[in-house]
Structure formats: structure tokens, C-alpha cells
């Protein structure tokens, strides 16, 4: 398990299980964690370890042979997977198109002699099924709606029982000491680590599948009905009708398929099936999956907007994308405005410590720094302003990548990069009038945000966070 860190609704596990039965082999599930990944911090590490601990007890319940390896000062990950693969007949892993995963998988495949297969369980439609990347959400939505019926019937097994793995655990021991730390001892354990970045965990955001399911339950029960109308209205996370699921999707604690089914069960209490799709509305964001506007809106974010970022990476595959990946019209536009005078210029440190002249921008940055998440509307405004207030576009991109990936639980994801590049015009169209610095890129401002929404609740919320965490902002 590299990126889909769950023992349910998991295409890689489904496939490995079938192979094990058909070849009469033992099935070993390996979950590992290195300590040296970029932007490593106590915040991210704790979130992953909480998931590993939960997977260990679930594996016990299912009778699976589950090996968990966590690198620390005494235990090195180098060469470990190669050693494990020497005894394997096939290695099945998760396909993920960004951050360290593509290179890591390629290097491993080059080193081992057994077959290695990467399974794409990232979304609902496998990304290999699209011939090219989509230049806009409108285009991808049409492709997804057309292909959707073929893939609905191929969802992964939603949950397993002990019987599903009967005979597959022959008790082979791992060539290392299994990770054996309880949740209660995690803080003490983490004290022994030296992380590249000093970022504290948010006690309210716990890693693992149980929290993901709880969040989804709460969203469906209390928030979903308001999603279409109010998701963009910045507020306290508890009040704002968004799910908070992106970190859980990023680490694969929950799958898009499961979320999809749960949303439709709520939207159509008398039952939803493939016949409920409105084929005549293919390409229509409001009306395709169900009659509920909120459910359609949410599913469009979950499937179209999330997938457009993944698809972009699947067609390029690499650690990151950057300004050179922007469409021609944007690059010409940036060239034209590169030397425009900036209304304000801030350094990375000033941005990081929320020291700009703009209290809304500062609030968004504080929310990110303290909690590890940022309201989606504020995230767009936040990105746009860093572009306007940086000495160059390149510096703006670097600052956004650094802040997003260092602090956000959902960072280091395809949508981290496509979200940042969306602020530069990716997947968007030219907007008029042409402006200073942004040119024809869509403009957003704190003043218009204040006119659109009552921002006091959001500012009060961030102030309350700060009160509890003064030390973060010297």
C-alpha cells in the first residue's frame, strides 16, 4: 500500500487477492513509511502513522499477513522492498502520478526480478481510459459522464470479511521488526524524529479510515443539503458545508467510489442505481447523477474537479508541474505582464507568517498554518494574491508550492499543483478587462469577497484558532 492506505474498497488489494488465489501463493500486505520525503513534518507523519495503526488492527480482524515498516534512526528503508521482492512472485502496488511515487515505483521496478503491477484505484474511471489530458472541466465532465456507466459495474469490493482471505496467510515473518506503537504512545515516539519542517499536528484532524468515515457521515447528515448554495461561503470548518475529506482521499483512507455511493444513498433514499443516470444530461454539472442539486455539485467536485488534476499528471507523470506547463495563452499573458509594477511585494517569510496588509489573506494563511486546511474559496483568493504580491511569477509559484505542501494535510497531491496553477489560469479562460500583473487571468480580491460574503464569522473563527496557538505567530 503506497497511496491507497485502506483495507476496503481497494482495487490493488482486490487484484493482489485474486492473484494470490489463482497462483496459490501467500498474500502479504506491506505498508511502509520513510522519514525523508519532501516537506516531512510531525503533522504529516502523525497523520500517516495513525492510519497505519488502524490498518494493523483491521488486518488482524481480517486474518491478513500485514507488514508495517516505519523508518527511524535505527531502521533504514533503503533496499528493504528489493529484499522483500526477492521472495515474491508478483508485487502489486498503487499507481499514483505525482510527488515521489512515480520515481519510487520506477526505481523499484528496475531493481527487482519479479513482475510488478501498479493498479490505478485513484478515482472511478481509470486514467488510462482517457486518451489525453482535458483542457477544461467542461470537456472532462463530458468524457466522464459518457464513460461512467461502463465503470460503475467495476467498483472495488466495498468491504472484506475474514472469509475473503481464508488460506492466504501462511504466517511468513517480515525481514524487519514490525511497527508496534500504539496511538497513545505516538507523541513520545515522534519525539525521536528530526523532521525537516517544524509543523505541529492538528489534534482535531486524525489520520485513518474511521475518521474519514465519521467525516463523511457528518457531511451527509448535517451539511450536504447546503452544499450547492453555500460551499463557497468561508466560515468555521464546523459550520461551512464542505466535507474536509481531501486529506483522507489523498492518503487513500477512503475511496471516491465509496463516497460516491454514500452520497447517492442519501440523495435517493429509495435507492439509486445506474438507471437513475440522466443520459440526456451528459456533460451537465447540475443534473447528471441524480435530481439533488447538492449531490450533483458535490460529485462534480469529487469526480470532475479532482480528476482533472490527476489526469493532467497521468499524462505527464512526474514529481510536479510548474509554470512551463501552463497553456500558451497564459504563458504569453505572463510574458506580457512580467515586469508590471506589483502593488505590494512580500517575501516568502512574510507570507508564511501572515504579515501582509490584508486581514483576509492573513486569516487564510493562519488557518492553513494552524489547522492544516484552508477553506476552498479562500484558497483561490490566497493563491491569486500571492501571484500579485510576489516579485515574479516564478517566486509566487515556489511560495505557493512551499506553503501548500508544507502545511496542508492534503498537499503533495496532483490537485495541489493544478490548484495552484488554476490561480495562474490553468483550466480557465481569458478574463476581461486586462489587469496589472494578472493580465487576462481571472481576478479575485478581498474587497469583492467581503461584498459577497459576511466575513466576520470566518475572521472570528481564525482569531479563535490563534488564541489557542499564539506561539505559532511570534
The footprint of ligand FAD (CB under 6 A) covers: 231, 242-246, 249-250, 301-302, 305-306, 309, 376, 379-380, 383, 404, 408, 410-411, 413, 415-416, 419-420, 422-423
Of 434, 418, 398, 419, nearest in space to 325 by CA: 418
The DSSP element (H or E) to which 308 belongs, if any, is: helix 306-316
Distance CA 441, CA 329 (A): 10
Nearer to ligand FAD, 59 or 249 (CB): 249
Least gap, CB of 100 to ligand FAD (angstroms): 15
For residue 249, the minimal CB distance to ligand FAD (Å) is 5
- In 269-407, at which residue ranges do the beta strands (DSSP E only) sit? none
| Helical (H) or strand (E) element with 117 | strand 115-119
Q: What backbone torsions phi and psi does residue 31 show, to the nearest 5 degrees?
A: -125, 125
178-181: long-range contacts at Cβ-Cβ below 8 A with a sequence spacing of 24 or more? 178/67, 178/68, 178/69, 179/52, 179/56, 179/68, 179/69, 179/70, 181/49, 181/53, 181/70
DSSP output for 48-76: HHHHHHHHHHHHHHHT-EEEEEE-BTTB-
The 3-state DSSP class for residue 90 equals: strand
Looking at beta carbons, which residue is closest to ligand FAD? 419
CB of 439 to ligand FAD, least distance (A): 19
Is residue 51 within 8 Å of 45, Cβ to Cβ?
Answer: no
Residue placing its CB nearer to ligand FAD in the complex, 296 or 416: 416
Distances (CA, A) of 274 to 63, 260, 261, 266, 278: 34, 12, 11, 15, 9
Minimum Å gap between C-beta 165 and ligand FAD is: 30
CB of 368 to ligand FAD, least distance (A): 10
Our CB check for ligand FAD shows the closer of 246 and 296 to be: 246
**To the nearest whole angstrom, how small is the minimum distance from the Cβ of residue 410 to ligand FAD?**
4
CB nearer to ligand FAD: pick between 9 and 169: 9
Dist. CA 125–CA 149, nearest whole Å: 10
Beta bridge partner(s), residue 41:
197
C-beta of 411: minimal distance to ligand FAD in Å? 4
Smallest Cα–Cα separation from 366: which of 49, 42, 356? Answer: 356
The CB-of-113 to ligand FAD minimum distance in angstroms stands at 36
Amino acid at each position: 500500500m503506497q497511496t491507497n492506505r485502506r483495507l476496503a474498497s481497494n482495487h490493488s488489494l482486490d487484484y493482489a487477492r485474486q492473484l494470490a488465489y489463482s497462483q496459490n501463493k501467500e498474500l502479504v500486505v506491506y505498508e511502509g513509511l520513510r522519514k525523508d520525503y519532501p516537506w516531512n513534518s510531525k503533522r504529516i507523519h502523525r497523520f500517516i502513522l495513525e492510519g497505519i495503526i488502524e490498518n494493523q488492527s483491521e488486518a488482524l480482524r481480517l486474518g491478513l499477513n500485514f507488514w508495517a515498516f516505519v523508518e527511524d534512526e535505527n531502521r533504514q528503508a533503503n533496499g528493504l522492498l528489493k529484499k522483500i521482492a526477492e521472495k515474491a512472485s508478483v508485487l502489486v502496488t498503487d499507481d499514483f502520478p505525482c510527488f515521489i511515487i512515480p520515481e519510487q515505483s520506477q526505481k523499484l521496478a528496475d531493481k527487482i526480478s519479479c513482475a510488478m503491477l501498479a493498479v490505478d484505484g485513484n478515482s472511478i474511471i481509470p486514467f488510462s481510459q482517457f486518451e489525453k489530458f482535458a483542457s477544461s472541466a467542461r470537456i472532462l465532465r463530458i468524457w466522464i459522464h459518457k464513460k461512467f456507466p461502463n465503470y460503475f459495474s467495476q467498483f472495488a469490493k466495498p468491504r472484506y470479511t475474514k472469509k475473503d482471505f481464508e488460506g492466504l496467510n501462511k504466517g511468513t515473518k517480515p525481514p524487519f521488526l514490525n511497527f508496534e506503537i500504539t496511538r497513545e504512545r505516538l507523541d513520545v515516539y515522534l519525539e525521536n524524529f528530526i523532521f525537516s519542517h517544524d509543523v505541529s499536528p492538528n489534534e482535531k484532524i486524525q489520520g485513518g479510515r474511521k475518521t474519514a468515515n465519521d467525516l463523511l457521515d457528518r457531511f451527509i447528515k448535517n451539511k450536504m443539503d447546503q452544499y450547492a448554495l453555500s460551499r463557497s461561503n468561508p466560515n468555521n470548518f464546523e459550520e461551512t458545508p464542505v466535507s474536509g475529506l481531501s486529506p483522507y482521499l489523498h492518503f487513500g483512507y477512503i475511496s471516491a467510489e465509496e463516497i460516491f455511493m454514500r452520497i447517492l444513498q442519501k440523495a435517493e433514499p429509495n435507492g439509486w442505481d445506474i438507471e437513475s443516470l440522466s443520459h440526456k444530461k451528459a456533460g451537465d454539472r447540475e443534473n447528471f447523477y441524480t435530481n439533488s442539486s447538492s449531490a450533483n455539485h458535490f460529485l462534480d467536485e469529487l469526480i470532475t474537479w479532482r480528476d482533472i488534476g490527476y489526469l493532467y499528471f497521468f499524462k505527464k507523470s512526474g514529481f510536479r508541474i510548474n509554470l512551463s506547463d501552463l497553456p500558451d495563452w497564459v504563458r504569453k499573458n505572463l510574458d506580457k505582464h512580467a515586469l508590471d509594477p506589483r502593488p505590494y511585494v512580500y517575501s516568502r517569510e512574510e507570507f508564511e507568517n501572515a504579515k501582509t496588509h490584508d486581514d483576509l489573506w492573513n486569516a487564510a494563511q493562519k488557518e492553513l498554518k494552524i489547522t492544516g486546511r484552508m477553506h476552498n474559496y479562500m484558497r483561490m483568493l490566497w493563491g491569486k494574491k500571492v501571484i500579485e504580491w510576489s516579485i515574479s511569477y516564478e517566486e509566487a509559484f515556489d511560495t505557493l508550492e512551499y506553503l501548500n505542501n508544507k502545511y496542508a494535510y492534503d498537499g503533495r497531491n496532483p490537485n495541489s499543483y493544478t490548484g495552484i496553477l488554476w490561480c495562474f489560469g490553468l483550466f480557465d479562460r481569458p478574463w476581461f478587462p486586462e489587469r496589472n500583473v494578472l493580465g487576462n487571468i481571472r481576478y479575485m480580491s478581498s474587497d469583492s469577497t467581503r461584498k459577497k460574503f459576511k466575513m466576520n464569522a470566518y475572521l472570528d473563527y481564525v482569531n479563535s484558532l490563534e488564541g489557542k496557538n499564539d506561539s505559532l505567530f511570534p
